[in-house]
Structure 1
């Protein structure tokens, strides 16, 4: 077992003292980096990168060669689970992910089988092992999955959606069918994340990208209940250390207390929630991750630094904060500005911590 040289990300997730606020970015390996675009062009398409462990490792490491990030995140896609269930994932230029076989009735849901990660998604586990080896203890590796509700929306809609008409109609008209789908997905996500942990992921994040599209009662019933089930089923210690779990519901600021009660270790915040308010509500229970508006990275370096200082000041002194964007970095961001963001978090946050 290689000793971890930089563990401030894991320490912050456990709300232990750190010297500076750790920072990483959602989608930090991605289209804003010219080296990523070159690798993807060489591979042919996005899924060709995802399904090749060596290429997935290469693009995972690319941002760490540029920036002093405090964590790496596995390069993959949230839709690997429905793809492994046989739905035929493909990417339409300009339209995003699509499925050749959407799941739109009870018979289609009944035909789905819970995935066996090592058999159905071996390339992901191979990528995790390869990345851990190549990181050689420099920083922790984050594994991830989409939430059951988020995965279900893509599976029922057949791809991306603006209004989730088909998914919501199923949930409201045939709740028993939607619950059958969500139950199979929750079991699949639990198995998938545990397999990532066994392969070497040192923390995991559940991306509930579309939970915020639900009403309060529908969120509790169709999204949060299944994330709670997953958290309860995860391996929480490995290699003699806790494996923290981060929940991120985009537009989920109204549910922080309920999310914190799932037993997770940290909540990801989007940019619509004030992090100081969030800390006063749940900061004694969980760590908080976030939450600069990703489009702030189009601003000047001076303005980016001002925003970082505002967020750090809002959170205040003490530990339990992981700095991140409120959602993924966007493709048109100048890599120089991403560097300003990462380096400024370390520089400006030191005064908020007592550990040296």
Structure 2
């Protein structure tokens, strides 16, 4: 007895447009693999192994397009300009900034809607994005403290000194007074930011140090009463589940070593995340000063009146867009959206101060 089976679908005939698309995909896969190899060359240990594995995975995707192309592979094409730029940056720098860009590049994969890409390839790209996100997160953790101080310092310098200059200038004072006010705002603000960051980070590190396990308690482990000890309570107080805490306590007692340490399990190094007090203070001072210098530049070069105000506003606007875009890239968000947000916030504050200056200037007059 036979049953009727629907005829198998005939393979789709390739078109010149398909061949062009396959060749572009092949070029992009080769370019992405080159990015991971360049990044791996600048690293060692586990991170190097992970990046090499990602490059190997891209070679599997290359082979898929090579098999489809067959004799139509032609001369190698160049990958997208974004990926080529990323490869150059990976070769020259290879830091967290490049990893953040690579994370965004993986998120732009079109294999989900490409009829000639397999489901496994689309899933690979999503997983690759998560792997790169994890590597980028390591870098973000290492720079988070200093980077936070740098970004806040630069933006505070740009916005506060532009607002100060516009507010004073709108009151009708002489250009020399505006310049002096801007320089005074630069140095006073930079010193204030540095002092504030130093105190903030130092206090935070002292609070963390107060939560670290006591060496005296660690040394007492070997002398505990095995039948009625409270060591498991220590681990439970530090966040472990009761069973896990008891197992950790039993292991520590079995070792019976005075060198055994009491430590929280699987807790990241918060000291590393917030950075050092001096590093945060120095970054805050330098970046606030560099940001606060931007709106003063026209007055330093002798520009006066509306031309000086307009030039300051343009320079500050460009700087705000740059800092916003950098934050967007490092956070894995849209750099354009972050740039526009920084611009709107900064110009909003400056405009409010300028209007106050006009109000007080008119009142004094």
Q: TM-score of the superposition, structure 2-length normalised?
A: 0.23
Question: Which protein is richer in helix relative to its size?
Answer: 2
Question: Which protein is richer in strand relative to its size?
Answer: 1
Larger Rg: 2
Q: TM-score of the superposition, structure 1-length normalised?
A: 0.23
